[in-house]
Structures are given as C-alpha cells and as structure tokens.
Structure 1
Amino acid sequence: MKKYLPILKNSPFFTGLTDNEILSILHCVKATTVSQKRDFYIFRAGDSTEVMGLVVSGCVLVIQEDLWGHRNILSKCHTGDFFGEPYAASPGAVLNVSVVADTDCEIILLNVQRLLISCPTACEHHQKLIRNLVSVLANKILILNDKITHVGKRTTRDKLLSYLSTESIRHSSLSFDIPFDRQQLADYLCIDRAAMSTEISKLQKEGFIKTNRNHFELTVCNNSDSEIKM
C-alpha cells in the first residue's frame, strides 16, 4: 500500500493524516487492491456492498442502466476519487447504480462499516476519518445536484449550456476539458447523441463555442441579444 501514499495523501478522505496514520487506517478498514480491465463491472445494481472503492489508476463510471441497455451516467471517477460510499455506509442497502471500469484501472476497496463502529485500537485519527467521510459524502451530493440542474432543463441546448457553464465556473476559465467523450456526455445529460451533436454544431456556427473532442472554449458576448444564457 505504501506505493499509493502520494495518491492517498491528495484524497479528501485522508485529509490531515500522516503517512503512518493512513497506513494504520488502511489496515483498520481491511483495505485490498484489485485490478480491473476496461468494461468490467466492479459493482452491479441489485447487489449490496460493505466496501467503497478508491481509484488509484485509470477511471470508472457510475451508471444506471435499464433492461434495454440505455445508460445514464451519474459521474466519472478518476484517480483519487471514491465511489460506493453511501451504499457501503448503509447496511443492507441495495445498489441502484453500477460501477464499470472506463479504462483498465486499479481500485482500493475499503470496508466502511469498520469506520462506523468503535475502533478496536482506539486510534486518535479515527474521528478525523469519519469527518472526512462526511465531507466526501457531502461533495457527492453537490455533484448530483449539478446533474439534476442540467437534466432538469427543457431542451438539449439548455442542458448543454448549463453543463458547459458549470464546467467553466469549476475550472475558472472559458477554456477547459470535460471528462466525457461525446457518447458519455449525451448519457450524462440524458439526451440523444445525434441531437446533441446537432446542437453543438449550431452553437459553433453561432460563435458561442469552439470545441475539439473533449475541449471546449466558450464565448460570452457583450450583446445581450446574443449572449449565452448561463
């Protein structure tokens, strides 16, 4: 586990903890490492879990799928990101999401239930970890709130602009990369890919955006009649 310390120290879950404290906690929560190939399902909807995952290489998608294969992407987790925390922290909770490897990846699995009981070694950093877990869960709520805001818009154009505006604000720049390819972006915004591509082309022709693959540049006009409404 020591080789993962640089990643773990930058994770919000381990904020304020020393290397030795992190290693002690990994032992306490029975941390195990697994490697998964692209498109492998780490968690499946309908299952239950006592562990949450921490991505230490590659990335995974948190998704919902129906019986006909329609995919709704809830979030994309990169190196240092967690997934499965709410379900692991709720004994007996049934997953209504699946987690699938978007690339070949390595995952550390942590038994959250061991955080919610008295630490057998009475470690001083146990309470720090619980506070960090609450912070991680709160951040996930904010991420889902952003998605609800985007998909709640009435049109494909409004959903795109809502998402791009939020990403611009998050990056503090009008020029930024998004974490999704085109199909993933359509799945995240719950829109048809062809309709989305058409709308992106219109926005480019109208001079509101420039885009190349997953890179976007936004143009905010001074003219109120032609300004993008964000």
Structure 2
Amino acid sequence: MTLEGIEKSRLFHGMTAKELSSCLDSLDAQEKKYRKDEIVLHSGEQTSNIGMVLSGSVTIESNDVWGNCTVLSHVGKNQCFAETYALLGEVLLVDVRANEDCTILFCNIRNLIDNNKKSSPWKETFLKNILIISSQKNLVLSGRSFHTSSKSCRGRLLSYLNATSLQTGSKEFDIPFNRQQLADYLNLERTNMSKELSRMQDEGLIKYRKNHFKLIRED
C-alpha cells in the first residue's frame, strides 16, 4: 500500500506514525484504483467506508432516473468523501464518480462506533478530524446554495468565481471543474453558460482559458 504523505491529510492530522499504523490496521484500510468516469460509490447503496483520495480526484453527483445530473462537489487529493453516510449507515443519495484515473483509500469507520472495541489513542484524534471535515463540507454545500440562489446565469458565475478568488487568496486561479461540470454545479445550461462567459470576457470582467480564470477589477 502506497501511503506516503497521508499523515499530512486532514483525516490523519495529528497522529504519530505508530498511531497512524494502528488506525489503518484497525479500520481495515484498503487501497483501490479506478479509471476515469468509473463509479466509485453508487446511490441507493450503503457503505461503511470513508474514502480518501490518494491520487487523482472524484466528483460527488446527484443523478436522477430521468438522466439529470447535478455536480455537488469536487474531491481532490487527500480529501475525503462518504464519511457521514458511513457513520450513520444511511443509503447513499449521491454517486461518487472518478473525475480522472484515481486511487482511493477506504477505511471502515463503522468499527469506530462498535462498543465492543477497546479505546485507542488515535480514536479521539480521528473522530475530531472527521468532525472538522464534516464542518468543512457543510460550508461547501452552503456555498453552492449561495451561488445558485441568483436567478441569472451571470449572477451564479460571478458568485462562484468571486468565492473561489477569496478562498485561493488570488484574482487568478484554476477551478476543479470542466465546462459541463461547472454548468452542472451551478444548475446552468452549458451552452448559455459558455456564451455568458464569453460576454463577460468581452466586457473585460474576466479572462479565462479552459479552467484557468483571472478576475479583472475596474480601477
């Protein structure tokens, strides 16, 4: 198992090498590889595993029976997914899809709440880290609701790009989505969104190429 650098992730932050080894062993950690566009976790199923991206990235999607797709979030290297579903044992309401070829570390966190399991030094740290991760996820989801609250295509784009600029601390940045994913994330029609981006660039509000954006502020 190639796990170099995972001690720097939020999930295992604050653990000693010994605690990390014990944690991975106790949670039956397994590494799995997925090809681009392959479904990692399916909606309608249950999971006892929290997933952490070791390489590549995944997207969290809501896909309905009529073929409509809504991209809810992007999960990159050393970031986690499915922790709430795994802890609560609830049926997944989303699909987790490989955004590119990726490697995922799965840890069975149902073992954490098994009353028959003895307490371990790493457990408190691990649970604290999951709480922080869940709180961060809430911010992301509330952010998406904020971006999609505008009725206009431009309003949604400006909200998302401005928030990304604030989060990165720069007026120039890369976004984790391609055009279709960005349209799905903002609940927009791709063609209309692309036209609006072109108009915004023509008006001197932004410059962009593929997923690289630069916000231009008027003097």
Q: TM-score, normalised by structure 2?
A: 0.96
Pairing of 1:29-68 with structure 2 (within 5 A) = 29-68=27-66
Aligned residue type for 2:154: R
- Structure 1 unmatched ranges of 5 or more: 223-230
8 Å CA contact retained: 1:5, 1:19: no
User: Does 2:211 align with 1:214?
Assistant: yes
SS at structure 2 position matched to 1:221: coil
Whole-angstrom CA distance in 1 between matches of 2:17 and 2:205: 47
The offset of 1:117, in angstroms, is 3.2
Letter in 2 for 1:16: G
Detail structure 1 runs of 4+ shifted over 6 Å in the superposition.
none
For residues 169-188 of structure 1, the aligned pairs below 5 Å read 169-188=166-185
* 8 Å Cα contact 2:19-2:121 kept in structure 1: no
The answer as to whether partners of 1:47 and 1:95 remain within 8 angstroms in 2 is yes
Q: Is the 8 A contact 1:29 1:112 kept in 2?
A: yes
What RMSD in Å do the two structures reach over aligned CA positions? 1.3
Match for residue 194 of structure 2? Answer: 197
Identity across the alignment (%):
35
Question: Is the CA contact 2:111–2:117 (under 8 Å) kept in the aligned structure 1?
Answer: no
Offset, 1:219: 1.1
Find the aligned partners of 1:80 and 1:119 in 2 and give their Cα distance. 30
How far apart in 1 are the matches of 2:3 and 2:41? Answer: 22
Structure 2: tracts of 5 or more residues without a match: none
Tell me which residue corresponds to 2:108: 111
- Which whole-Å CA distance do the structure 1 matches of 2:132 and 2:112 have between them? 14
Task: For residue 43 of structure 1, report the CA deviation from its aligned partner.
Answer: 0.9
Q: Is it true that 1:166 corresponds to 2:159 in the alignment?
A: no
Q: Deviations over 1:105-127 (max 9, x none)?
A: 11111111112235735321211
Aligned-partner Cα distance in 2 for 1:118–1:66? 37
Secondary structure, in 3 states, of the residue corresponding to 2:159?
Answer: helix
CA distance in structure 2 between the aligned counterparts of 1:80 and 1:132, rounded to whole angstroms? 13
Which of 15, 18, 29 is the equivalent residue of 1:17? Answer: 15
SS in 2 for 1:5: coil
- For residue 227 of structure 1, what is the aligned residue in structure 2? none
1:134 maps to which of 112, 131, 134: 131
Q: Give the whole-Å Cα distance in 1 for the aligned partners of 2:69 and 2:116.
A: 40
SS at match of 2:88: coil
Opposite residue 36 of structure 1, the aligned amino acid is Y
Normalised TM-score (structure 1): 0.92
Task: Tell me the amino acid that sits aligned with residue 5 of structure 1.
Answer: E
Q: Which amino acid is the alignment partner of residue 145 of structure 1?
A: S
The count of corresponding residues between Structure 1 and Structure 2 is 219
Distance in 1 between residues matched to 2:9 and 2:118, nearest whole Å: 23
